[in-house]
Amino acid sequence: MVKTSEVNPGYFHKVVDCQYACPAHTPVPEYIRLIAAGRYTEAYMINWESNVFPGILGRTCDRPCEPACRRGRVEEQPVAICRLKRVAADFKDEIGHLMPEITVVKNGKKIALIGGGPASLTVARDLAPLGYEIHLYDDQSKAGGMMRSQIPSFRLPESVLDEEVDRILNFGIHRHFNTYVNSMKSMLQSGYDAIFVGTGAPRGKDLTDLPGRWEARTKVHIGIEWLANVAFDHIHKIGKKVIVLGGGNTAMDCCRTARRLGGEDVKVIVRSPFNDMKASPWEKEDAMHEDIPIIDNHVPKSFVVENGELKGMYFEKVMAQYDEKGRRKLIPTGEPPAFYEADEILIAIGQENSFPWIERDLGIEFDEWGLPVIHEKYFSSTLPGVFFGGDAALGPKNIITAVAQGHEAAISIDLYCSGQPLEDRPPAQVNMYSAKMGIHEWSYDSYVTTDPRYAVPQADKSQTLRNRKLEVELGYDLKSAFLEAQRCLNCDVQTVFTDSKCIECDACMDICPTNCITFTEDGPEQELRMRLLVPALNESQDIMVSGPLKTGRVMVKDEDVCLHCGLCAERCPTAAWDMQHFLYNTAKAGQSCYV
């Protein structure tokens, strides 16, 4: 097959599984090594450059990096990447002096950001240091979007949120809080050079068609509205028996919040089977730990109201059937409907976008589902100068996605405002250098520990259930942080192969603990994969193939379970293998001027 062993940033980027899976491409192993070295401030800054909210994300991120982590392929559990991020935030020093300088003299361009969530804040973070005058609009009294209105304080303390949000607001951002933008048309006429829409997906889905919904209305709440009311101190208690409908993370936050507001018998009842639920496994665990049963395969049928009082709900029992394409169907089991008592019910079955304030005759096109038509990479709308990002752009996701899209939108806005085409994007910044320091000595800790994942300690339930603001997770202490950091396999220290140096002694193939390397005859990729010492069946992982060596064979390395232990390079007599640090940073707005 085609040679893939030459130095190629795209190839190596993919090898760093966690960073590749992170929407913002945070250089994960780099900050984990800094944590192990006790350099928390630097670890924080690497995060801050990429994901803007390390303290917030270190507690709340959806962590797509962890299922991707290579360690999960050689043992049970991936590295606790997310909670290590929190360590950097918890133990950093003062960082004020490391912040970019915000010049008094501006570049003459004015930008409006509508919505004050993580997407808009990221755009503000990227553009303010470049001299843009930024105006931030939000209908709430403070910035933060759903990070403030939805994520409960027992997962994300207000102080952590304030610190990271205020850091950006202090970049001279003009704040227009308690201001609901009700007309895009008037925004377009207000003299902004570009407008960014980061209004999220603010409408919670309802079950309006179910019998009894209207009669029960005072005791049935939309989950995200209810959570916002709790967060802004409008609601302080709930009935003793609570049913939460839905199986996503919102449902988990609703039920856990209900437990803290007086709910004693709180249940989550969900249509899908337990394993198909949208909520992350750890969110489900945390809910169950707080004595909240999750009842699956139950489809809501009706609200039961007697004499004007809510009594409970009926559910139809179903079971899941999957067709050959893996599509699911919920088939009624035929059992009689199940009744569950409730004093109050929270509906947490999803969110929708809604843009009642954007007039449809402005040139901003919407699709048949009422979503704006957005360029998937540039985050531009069909009206030049109007950009979208976060939940408002491509539907509800999570904070880190909102951040990643904010970065891209900021690049687009910067290009747009300087009259450059949106496709002229600055390239990623890549740096590579050898890790070799001696015969068996590397500038990273190449030893592979077998320690299983360290658990993050939690405050006692008897305390946390009494105070909705008391943070449940306590975070790692420095000792367990170090040990957990040591579990990282350093996937960004790349195995770099130089064909011309190899004398085909087989030493690397013989030593490799995970049988990654094979010297064999060349062939088409699919066939070659099957001929390796251990066949390379995980096709999501690339194979590195050299050019023809002296004997005509090729070197093939399966990236799948390489431990980055460096033994191949240690055993190579000719340094045909080298271990090289590979630092990959996605481009940020403004970097185009330097290239």
Partner 1 sequence: MTYIRPAFHHPALPQNELGYTRKDYEGSISTLCAGCGHDSISAAIVEACFELNIEPHKVAKLSGIGCSSKTPAYFLNQSHGFNSVHGRMPSVATGAYLANTDLLYLGVSGDGDSASIGMGQFVHAIRRSLNITYIVMNNGCYGLTKGQDSATADYGYVAKAGHKNIYEAIDLCGLAIELGAGFVAQSFSGDKKQLIPLIKAAMSYQGFAFLNVLSPCVTFNNNSGSTKSYDYIREHNAVMSGMDFIPVKEEITADYQEDTVREIELHDGSYIRLHKLQQGWNPEDKYAVVNALHKARASHEILTGLLYINNDQMPLHQIIRLTDTPLNKLTEQALVPGAGILDQINASFA
CA 93 – CA 498 distance, rounded (Å): 42
Find the binding residues for partner 1 in span 420-449 (CB under 8 A).
438, 440-442, 446-448
Which one of 101-109, 127-135, 386-394, 567-575 is the stretch in contact with ligand FAD (CB under 6 A)? 386-394
Confirm or reject binding of residue 349 to ligand FAD (CB under 6 A): no
Contacting residue, 52, 417, 567, 589, with partner 1 by CB under 8 A: 567
Stretch that binds ligand FAD, among 14-22, 239-247, 393-401, 408-416 (CB under 6 A): 393-401
Q: Which amino acid is at 136?
A: L
Q: Which stretch binds ligand FAD (CB under 6 A): 39-47, 333-341, 395-403, 565-573?
A: 395-403
Give yes or no for residue 12 binding ligand SF4 (CB under 6 A): no
In this complex, which beta carbon is closest to partner 1, that of residue 319 or of residue 437?
437
- Picking from 254, 194, 90, 104, the residue whose alpha carbon sits closest to that of residue 417 is 194
Interacting partner of 517 out of partner 1, ligand FAD, ligand SF4, none (Cβ under 5 to 8 A depending on kind):
ligand SF4
Output the six-digit token pair for 439: 């015969």
**75: contact with partner 1 by CB under 8 A:** yes
Burial class (CB in 10 A: 0-12, 13-18, 19+), 106: middle
For helices 118-127 and 158-169, angle between their N-to-C axes, nearest 10 degrees:
40
The contact mask relative to ligand FAD for 127-146 (x = CB under 6 A, - = no) is ----------xxxx----xx
CB 157 within 8 A of CB 148: no
Least distance (Å) between residue 564 CB and ligand SF4: 5
Q: Which of 84, 14, 74 is nearest to 485 (CA)?
A: 84
Amino acid (one-letter) located at 321: Q
Integer Cα distance of 140 and 9 in angstroms: 43
In the chain, the N- to C-terminal Cα span, in Å, equals 34
Query: Of these partners, ligand FAD, ligand SF4, partner 1, none, which one is at the site of residue 391 (CB under 5 to 8 Å by kind)?
Result: ligand FAD
CB of 562 to ligand SF4, least distance (A): 3
The stretch among 44-52, 181-189, 260-268, 560-568 that binds ligand SF4 (CB under 6 A) is 560-568
Which residues contact residue 148 at a Cβ distance below 8 angstroms, ignoring those fewer than 6 apart? 140, 142, 158, 161, 165, 231
Q: Which is nearer to partner 1, 252 or 554 (CB)?
A: 554
Annotate 272-287 with three-state secondary structure.
CCHHHCCCCHHHHHHH
Binding mask 140-159 for partner 1 (x = CB under 8 A): --------------------
CB of 570 to ligand SF4, least distance (A): 8
- Distance from C-alpha of 558 to C-alpha of 509, rounded to nearest angstrom: 11
d(CA 134, CA 138): 13
Q: 521: exposed, middle or buried (C-beta count within 10 Å: 0-12, 13-18, 19+)?
A: exposed
| Cβ atoms 84, 35 nearer than 8 A | yes
Q: For the segment 516-555, give every residue that binds ligand SF4 (CB under 6 A).
A: 516-517
Cβ closest to partner 1, residue 442 vs residue 584: 442
**Closer CB to ligand SF4, 63 or 557, in the complex:** 557
Q: Give just the sign of the alpha carbon dihedral 361, 392, 137, 387.
A: negative
Whether 461 and 473 have beta carbons less than 8 Å apart is answered as no
Residue 535 touches partner 1, criterion: CB under 8 A: yes
- Please work out the total of residues on this chain that contact ligand FAD, with binding judged by CB under 6 A: 40
82 vs 543, beta carbon nearer ligand FAD: 82
| Residue 147 binds to ligand FAD (criterion: CB under 6 A) | yes
- CB nearer to ligand SF4: pick between 175 and 571: 571
Q: Please, which residue, 364 or 493, has the CB nearer to ligand FAD?
A: 364
180 binds, among ligand FAD, partner 1, ligand SF4, none (CB under 5 to 8 A by kind): ligand FAD
Instruction: Count the residues in the chain.
Output: 595
What's the min distance (Å) between Cβ of 480 and ligand FAD?
23
**Joined tokens for residue 87:** 């360590």
Our finding on whether 491 is near ligand FAD (CB under 6 A) is no
Radius of gyration of the chain (CA): 26
Among the listed residues 34, 52, 128, 224, the single contact to ligand FAD using CB under 6 A? 224
C-alpha–C-alpha distance, residues 147 and 156, integer Å: 8
Cβ 558 to ligand SF4 shortest distance, Å: 9
Which of ligand SF4, partner 1, ligand FAD, none does residue 200 bind (CB under 5 to 8 Å by kind)?
ligand FAD
Choose which of 80, 161, 238, 507 interacts with partner 1 (CB under 8 A). Answer: 507
Of these, 111, 114, 123, 270, which contacts ligand FAD (CB under 6 A)? 114
Give least dist CB 518 to ligand SF4, A: 11
CA distance 551 to 106: 64
Distance CA 277, CA 248 (A): 6
CA distance 249 to 259: 15
* Burial environment of residue 511 by CB neighbours within 10 A (0 to 12, 13 to 18, 19 or more): middle
- What values do phi and psi take at 295, rounded to 5? -105, 115
Nearer to ligand FAD, 29 or 116 (CB): 116
Note whether 183 and 357 are within 8 A (CB).
yes
Pick from 336, 308, 148: which is nearest to 228 by CA?
148
d(CA 451, CA 75): 10
Query: Judged by CB under 6 A, does residue 61 bind ligand FAD?
Result: yes
Q: Which of 295, 428, 571, 591 binds partner 1 (CB under 8 A)?
A: 571
- Which residues on adjacent β-strands are paired with residue 111? 134, 194
Stretch binding partner 1 (CB under 8 A), from 98-106, 247-255, 322-330, 513-521: 513-521
Q: d(Cα 21, Cα 127) in Å, to the nearest integer? A: 25
Site residues (vs ligand FAD, CB under 6 A): 60-62, 114-120, 137-140, 145-147, 150-151, 180-181, 198-200, 202, 224, 227, 249-250, 253, 357, 390-392, 396-400, 402
Site residues (vs partner 1, CB under 8 A): 73-75, 438, 440-442, 446-448, 450, 503-507, 509-511, 513-516, 534-535, 537, 550-551, 561, 563, 565-567, 570-574
Site residues (vs ligand SF4, CB under 6 A): 495, 502-508, 511-514, 516-517, 557, 562-568, 571-574, 576-577
